[in-house]
Amino acid sequence: MGNGERRAGSGTRDPGRGIRDPGSGTRDPGPGTRDPETGSGCCLYDPAVTDQSGRPARPARSESREAAALRAIKEDHPELADAVDMHLELVELYRRVQGRVPLPSMEISTDILKRHAAERRPLLRFEDIPLDLTELRLLVRQVADILRRHGALDEADYQRVQTLGRDMTLLAAVGDWYRSTAESHAMASVGAARVSASTTADDAAAAQILSLAMRPFLSRCAEVLQQRPELDGWTHPHCALCGGEPEFAVITPAAERHLICGRCALRWKYEPLTCPYCGNADRSRITSFATTDGQYRVYACDQCRRYLKAYDGRRASRQVMPMVDTVATLPLDAAAMQRGYSS
168 lies in the same domain as 250: no
pLDDT band per the 50, 70, 90 thresholds, residue 125: very high
CB-CB contact of 242 with 224 (8 Å): no
Residues 7-26: tens digit of each pLDDT: 344 444 444 434 334 444 44
Residue 23 lies in a domain: no
Computed over every residue of the chain, the mean pLDDT equals 84
Residues 80, 220 share a domain:
yes
Per-residue DSSP letter, 47: T
Domain carrying residue 124: 66-228
Using one digit for the tens of pLDDT, what is the confidence trace for 287-309?
A: 999 999 999 999 999 999 999 99
Asked if 189 and 214 count as a contact pair (C-beta separation under 8 A), the reply is: no
Is the pLDDT confidence value at 33 over 60?
A: no
pLDDT band at 186 (very low <50, low <70, confident <90, very high): low
> Both 207 and 179 in a single domain?
yes
Residues 282, 310, 335, 157, CA torsion sign? positive
Whether residue 238 lies inside any domain: the answer is no
pLDDT at 144: 98
* Long-range CB contacts for residues 178-181, cutoff 8 Å, separation at least 24: 178/126, 178/129, 178/214, 178/242, 179/126, 181/242, 181/243, 181/244, 181/245, 181/263
Asked if residue 176 belongs to a domain, the reply is yes
Which pLDDT band, with edges at 50, 70 and 90, does 60 fall under? low
Please check whether residue 27 lies inside any domain of the structure: no
Q: How many domains does the chain have?
A: 2
pLDDT of residue 202: 63
Digit-coded pLDDT (tens) for 61-114: 688 999 999 999 999 999 999 999 999 999 999 999 988 999 998 888 889 999
| Each residue's pLDDT tens digit, 253-300 | 999 999 999 999 999 999 999 999 999 999 999 999 999 999 999 999
Q: What is the pLDDT of residue 31?
A: 45
- Is residue 10, in this structure, part of any structural domain at all? no
187 in the same domain as 271: no
Asked if 303 and 191 sit in the same domain, the reply is no
Query: Is 334 in the same domain as 267?
Result: yes
- Considering the domain architecture, whether residues 190 and 166 belong to the same structural domain is answered as yes
Q: What is the pTM of this model?
A: 0.79
Same domain, 224 and 255: no
Query: Contact, 104 vs 124, CB < 8 A?
Result: yes
Domain annotation covers residue 293: yes
Last-in-domain residue among 228, 252, 275: 228
Choose between 301 and 202: higher pLDDT. 301
In terms of domains, do 158 and 223 share one? Answer: yes
